[in-house]
Amino acid sequence: MHTPSDVMSVIKRFPHARVMVVGDMMLDVYMYGTASRLSPEAPVPVLHVTREQAMPGGAGNVLINLRTLGVDVCAVGVVGTDQPADIFLKYCRDMGVETQGIIADPARPTIQKIRHMAGQHQLLRSDIEDRTPLSEHIEDALKAEITRAMDGRQIVIISDYAKGVLSARILAHVMAEAKARSIRVLVDPKGKDFTRYRGAHVVTPNRTELALAAGAETLSGDQDIEIAAQKILGSCGIDHILVTRSEDGVTLIQANSQKPIHLRAKAREVFDVSGAGDTVMSVLAASLAVGASLAQASDLANLAGGIAVGKIGTAPVRPDELMQALSGDTTISHMAPVLSLDEMKACIQSWQASGLKVGFTNGCFDILHYGHVTYLAQARAQCDKLIVGLNHDISVRLLKGTTRPVNDEQARARVISALASVDGVVLFGATTAGADNTPCALIDSLRPDLFFKGGDYTPDQLPEAKIVSQYGGQVCIMKMYEGYSTTATLQKINNPQAA
């Protein structure tokens, strides 16, 4: 159908994609703590909350997935005039999402899904939402933003969670405005009435959603999927259906009577299917936006979905992961990613949302030696994921002098990311003399559960400890290995007789 090089060229063009997302914007909130006793008031556990975390959910998760791919994305939706709205908007803006099209409605709360977590166990989920229809005033404002924001976009995504925003009037307006501009509309549907999405280019139901819309009890095999999809295409005015089947891959059914395309997921261990549908939609949209055919875009979206189910939680899929999966380069496929601050923050939050304990340590790691490797391995043994903050080259020169580093930041990052004990690398540091060259700001942004520091310190001697304690994290002082350092290694190289 197409070669890996063709698909790689599609991925490289993702930053040229311009996509609009219209839908139900939500805030996913996680309350972490311990539950060691029952309440005296009722036979329920008491959660002693030690940490709280929030990130965009619903249509917001599609926004984050698209930005992780490098796509230029704008959002249109509704939030409240409350603190959760401020948190949602700040997160999106920090990720580079255009949020002008998000309307603040004082009459309704920002949708929240609040999960109460004891370790990896969810005790309770509380939903805060108002599903009543939007007022005529807010709906008119939303329509105006849809019209404004659609100009210059190549693809529109409708992310429907049936929370009251995507009324028949709003959906009809999206379809009419998109048709007038020859823009294709992709829909992540909700409910059993797919006639609401008449005019859509592609609708992406999962197996359960397709069964509900087709009036079937279950859909077990390829033939069941094909029959149900053809029934929808014949009655709902939709061009194509891409059925997401989690670990079984995807199936593309096209209205032009072409033969159905069943794309199997590559064999990989399935950890979590949550969020995989948003990943499939995001890659499909990005691919179509930069000129890929529907078959090619579906194939790439299926590859991304396979990567997504191999992750813990709703972690977005990055372009480099897609490139590695396509290349089949086993020499680099095991390496931890080197991420930007925003990418690392999103990754850590996804891990923590799944109950994983994230550790953090930092250093120059100029010439890797026994002390480094042992220290990192022992730190990783105390957490589920270990992140390394790596001083960039200017930062190292400020710390060590003009002759350092020996190895540049990209070389150091690649070497440290190859260690089995490391799950991610992020660069940091000061750029001018006298500026803060500690990882304090980085730690405050990433908020790991554990901060590891090697040496003969007490927590009160560390500026990082205050930051960690403020958000409820833990400081761990680790043993240093005497005689092992980059400085000592360089001395041996320069003066071997004195060693």
Name which residue leads in pLDDT, 466 or 7: 466
Assigned token pair, 39:
């309440």
Mean pLDDT of the chain: 89
3-class SS of residue 423: coil
Q: Band of the pLDDT at 331, cuts 50, 70, 90? A: very low
- The answer as to whether 332 is a domain residue is no
- Report for 321-325, 367-371, 381-385: range of highest mean pLDDT: 381-385
Indicate if the pLDDT at residue 496 is higher than 90.
no
pLDDT for res 238? 94
For residue 485, CA distances in Å to 16, 370, 411 come to 45, 9, 18
- The answer as to whether 254 is a domain residue is yes
pLDDT for res 347? 85
For residue 258, CA distances in Å to 243, 253, 254, 261 come to 16, 8, 6, 9
pLDDT for res 472? 86
Indicate if the pLDDT at residue 371 is higher than 90.
no
- The answer as to whether 302 is a domain residue is yes
19 and 126 fall within a common domain: yes
Instruction: Find the range with the poorest average confidence among 318-327, 362-371, 429-438.
Output: 318-327
- CATH number, domain at 437? 3.40.50.620
The radius of gyration computed from the CA coordinates of the chain, to the nearest angstrom, equals 25
With a CB cutoff of 8 Å and minimum separation 6, the contacts of 193 are 213
288 and 409 fall within a common domain: no
Place of tokens 């939709």: 238
Indicate if the pLDDT at residue 258 is higher than 80.
no
- The answer as to whether 328 is a domain residue is no
Mean pLDDT across 107-132: 92
Indicate if the pLDDT at residue 159 is higher than 60.
yes
pLDDT for res 267? 46
Indicate if the pLDDT at residue 330 is higher than 50.
no
146 and 294 fall within a common domain: yes
- The answer as to whether 244 is a domain residue is yes
If one counts the domains in the chain, the total is 2
Q: Band of the pLDDT at 332, cuts 50, 70, 90? A: very low
Residue 278 appears among annotated catalytic residues: yes
What is the amino acid identity at position 57? G
291 and 406 fall within a common domain: no
Indicate if the pLDDT at residue 166 is higher than 60.
yes
pLDDT digits (tens, 9 = 90+) for 263-299: 887 645 444 455 678 999 999 999 999 999 999 999 9
Mean pLDDT across 155-183: 97
The whole-angstrom separation of Cα 69 and Cα 397 is 33
Name which residue leads in pLDDT, 71 or 217: 71
Mean pLDDT across 173-193: 96
pLDDT for res 272? 45
Place of tokens 């590559």: 266
For residue 180, CA distances in Å to 139, 174, 175 come to 20, 10, 9
89 and 23 fall within a common domain: yes
pLDDT for res 290? 96
267 and 191 fall within a common domain: yes
Place of tokens 């709360």: 109
Indicate if the pLDDT at residue 315 is higher than 90.
no
pLDDT for res 337? 87
Instruction: Find the range with the poorest average confidence among 156-160, 259-263, 284-288.
Output: 259-263
pLDDT for res 474? 92
312 and 343 fall within a common domain: no
Q: In percent, how much of the chain has pLDDT > 90?
A: 65
Catalytic residue among 28, 278, 366, 449: 278
The length of the chain in residues reads 499
pLDDT for res 328? 67
343 and 206 fall within a common domain: no
169 and 247 fall within a common domain: yes
From 259, 283, 317, give the residue that closes a domain. Answer: 317
pLDDT for res 483? 56
- The answer as to whether 322 is a domain residue is no
237 and 379 fall within a common domain: no
With a CB cutoff of 8 Å and minimum separation 6, the contacts of 444 are 467, 471
Alpha helices in 328-369 (DSSP H): 341-353
Domain that residue 360 falls in: 338-498
pLDDT digits (tens, 9 = 90+) for 204-247: 999 999 999 998 888 888 899 999 999 999 889 999 999 998 77
CB-based burial, 323-357: b 16+ in 10 Å, e otherwise:
bbbbeeeeeeeebbbbbeebbbbbbbbbbbbbbbb
- CATH number, domain at 216? 3.40.1190.20
What is the number of H-type helices and E-type strands within the chain? 17, 19
